[in-house]
Structure 1
Amino acid sequence: MDQLEFENALKKLLKQPLTSATFEEVRPVAEALLYSEFLPSLTTHLNNLEKRRLVFLLEKFRRYSCSSVFRRQQLKSFSQSMKVEQTYRNHNVRRLVDPLAKQYGLNEDLNHLKPQLLSLQTRHYSRV
């Protein structure tokens, strides 16, 4: 995957509710965030909801211990540079939404893909 493919996959993912995303749509973005040097460059063209989705994804995947410490710090710094308010309040947030998603006022998450996403962070994982 190159930077352009990453950007296209990310753009497609951010345009839809995360709860409707398939593993095939999330996987290239997750792999790039976990294992590559790519960072999003499309941030100025995102609306507020898309920015919150992006920060959620950055924060979600930076917590996976399979990435290098350097990569996790890189994602954290990039996420913080987005300046998305973490205490965003949304009174219509579902109860069973990922607490991290709730912090950014999202009523959506990737919990429906948890088993598949966990497979990306095992020490036995190999990129195909």
Structure 2
Amino acid sequence: MNQHEFEIALQQLLAHSLSSATFEEVKPVAEALLYSEFLPTAFSKLNALETRRLVFLLEKFSRYACSSVFRRTQLKAYSTNLSERFTSSNILQNTFATDPLAKKLGLDEDLNHLKSQLLSLQTRHHQQSFT
């Protein structure tokens, strides 16, 4: 995957609710965020909801210990920079079974339905096959 392919996959993922995303849609983005040097470059073209989804993905995958400390720090810094646009008024209350991180970002959608599949991306074997 190259930067352009990453951008296309990311834009396609951000265009729809994360709760309806399939593993096949999330996997290339997750792999790129976890194991590559790619960062989104076209975020200025995103609307507010797509930007919140992007921040969610960046923060979510910055918490996966399978990537390097440098990469996790890079994703976290990038998400922090983007999330400065949001105020506490975006926080959702009483959204049943939504990821707390998603709620914090004003989303009522998440990737919980793909949790077991996404965890498979964290294995040492998977990391070696991606690089």
- Which structure shows the bigger proportion of residues in helix conformation? 2
Q: Secondary structure at the match of 1:64?
A: coil
Question: Are 2:47 and 1:44 aligned?
Answer: no
How far did 1:95 drift?
Answer: 1.2
One-letter identity of the residue aligned with 1:89? I
Contact kept, 8 Å, 2:92 with 2:104, in 1: the verdict is no
Structure 2: where are the runs of 5+ without partners? none
Percent identity, please: 64
After superposition, residues 1-128 of structure 1 pair within 5 angstroms as: 1-82=1-82, 83-85=84-86, 87=88, 88-91=90-93, 94-125=95-126, 126-127=129-130
Paired AA for residue 45 in structure 1:
K
| Structure 2 length-normalised TM | 0.92
Name the Cα RMSD after superposition.
Answer: 1.4
Aligned length: 127
Distance change >3 Å, CA 86–CA 25, structure 1 → 2 = farther
Q: Is the 8 A contact 1:51 1:84 kept in 2?
A: no
Please give the secondary structure, in 2, of the residue aligned with 1:97.
coil
- Cα distance, 1:43 vs. partner? 0.8
Instruction: Report the Cα offset of residue 86 of structure 1.
Output: 6.2
